[in-house]
Amino acid sequence: MDLRIAIVNYNTRDLLDACLSSIEANPPDGEYEVVVVDNASRDDSAAMVRERHPAVTVIASDANLGYAAGNNRALEGSRARYFLILNSDTEVHPGCLQALIDFMDAHPRVGMCGARLILPDGSIQPSCATELTLRKYLTQQMLLDKAGLSGYLFGDYWVDVAHLSEPTEAEQLTGACMFCRREAVEQLGGMDEGYWMYCEDSDYCQRYRAAGWLLYYVPQATLLHVLGGSSKTARAEMIAAYNHGAARYFRRHRGPAPASAAKLIGLAGGLLRLLLWGLPMLATLGLVGRFRRPTALFAKTLWLTLLPPRRPRR
């Protein structure tokens, strides 16, 4: 078996159908298998996979395991040479999977590689980044990156990959497409299940690099990414999960003091956004819908960030 593809799904029935169809239309040359872990979806995703994609193995969980735990469950027991962690809101292009296999076959020191992600409008999504630092997290939360000040102050977080035409070493790869060598997975284990969603990919990449494995961005392999397609239905929960994930990341890799700082930064970021939308809402007496909805969103985000992080139930 050359490849096992792991896909965690939560209420993305149509996107998942398109993803699986793209794999079937553009398979690798060798033997492969696909495992979908459905995290207690309410949209009949699991039934759809069984009906339309009978070769795919479906693991239907009766609880939402979260992204990290779901992927670990999808990878259990496989002896494939490579594992691909793939978002359900992606579609692989012709030659993508084989290009990743060929690259890894030719570079045995590479533990993980990632593909070029194309957005629906045809633009290229930044899909690799520099190491996550407290300063870069601060620029995100304080909206300094939106103001164009992030790179000026602390260096850009995302790498500009649009001009890259050859495989390039990276410090981080996005969790939407993580092509992993089995030996590296066996050495390091799976993703840290203490992460519910977000920052588990940053943590996994950091662990690979600390163990001496190289990470590479491979632009010859391309896929479509409907960015955020799997997290639109519960945005406040997703933002809070990112804040909790960042605090866990800094605790694991920097220590208790940076973790506490990250928690405060996450709260400050939520408060800033609440004020930016809430003050205009008050000024307009709540009559303008475009102010009400974001105000409610960030009020909920701030509250969820104050609560303990969600944990998976296996």
Q: Is residue 151 part of a domain?
A: no
* Core vs surface per residue 224-242: b (16+ CB within 10 A) or e: bbbbebbbeeeebbbbbbb
Q: Which long-range contacts (CB under 8 A, 24 or more apart) does 155-162 make?
A: 155/130, 156/130, 157/129, 157/130, 157/132, 158/126, 158/128, 158/129, 158/130, 159/126, 159/128, 159/129, 159/130, 159/217, 160/126, 161/116, 161/124, 161/126, 161/127, 161/128, 161/217, 161/219, 162/124
- Do 201 and 83 have their domain in common? yes
Q: Per residue in 82-122, pLDDT tens?
A: 999 999 999 999 999 999 999 999 999 999 999 999 999 99
pLDDT at 228: 65
pLDDT at 69: 94
- Do 180 and 284 have their domain in common? no
More confident residue, 148 or 179: 179
Measured between alpha carbons, how far is 120 from 45 in angstroms, rounded to an integer? 23
**Mean of per-residue pLDDT scores for the chain:** 92
In the structure, what pLDDT confidence band is assigned to residue 252 with cuts at 50, 70 and 90? very high
Residue where one domain finishes, among candidates 225, 244, 273:
225
Q: Is residue 216 part of a domain?
A: yes
- Do 176 and 267 have their domain in common? no
Q: Per residue in 66-83, pLDDT tens?
A: 999 999 999 998 889 999
In the structure, what pLDDT confidence band is assigned to residue 13 with cuts at 50, 70 and 90? very high
- Do 77 and 96 have their domain in common? yes
- Do 172 and 253 have their domain in common? no
- Do 34 and 80 have their domain in common? yes
pLDDT at 12: 94
Counting the structural domains of the chain, the total is: 2
Residue 45: give the domain boundaries. Answer: 3-126+161-225
CATH number of domain containing 182: 3.90.550.10
pLDDT at 288: 80
Measured between alpha carbons, how far is 295 from 273 in angstroms, rounded to an integer? 8
- Do 117 and 253 have their domain in common? no
More confident residue, 17 or 64: 17
- Do 299 and 255 have their domain in common? yes
- Do 179 and 72 have their domain in common? yes
In the structure, what pLDDT confidence band is assigned to residue 197 with cuts at 50, 70 and 90? confident
Q: Is residue 275 part of a domain?
A: yes
What average pLDDT score do residues 259-285 get?
94
In the structure, what pLDDT confidence band is assigned to residue 235 with cuts at 50, 70 and 90? confident
pLDDT of 305 strictly over 70: yes
Q: Is residue 221 part of a domain?
A: yes
Residue where one domain finishes, among candidates 190, 205, 225:
225
- Do 179 and 92 have their domain in common? yes
- Do 248 and 166 have their domain in common? no
- Helices 134-141, 235-253: axis angle to 10 degrees equals 160
Q: Is residue 58 part of a domain?
A: yes
pLDDT at 70: 95
Residue where one domain finishes, among candidates 172, 200, 225:
225
Q: Is residue 134 part of a domain?
A: no
pLDDT of 231 strictly over 70: no
pLDDT at 227: 79
What average pLDDT score do residues 253-282 get?
95
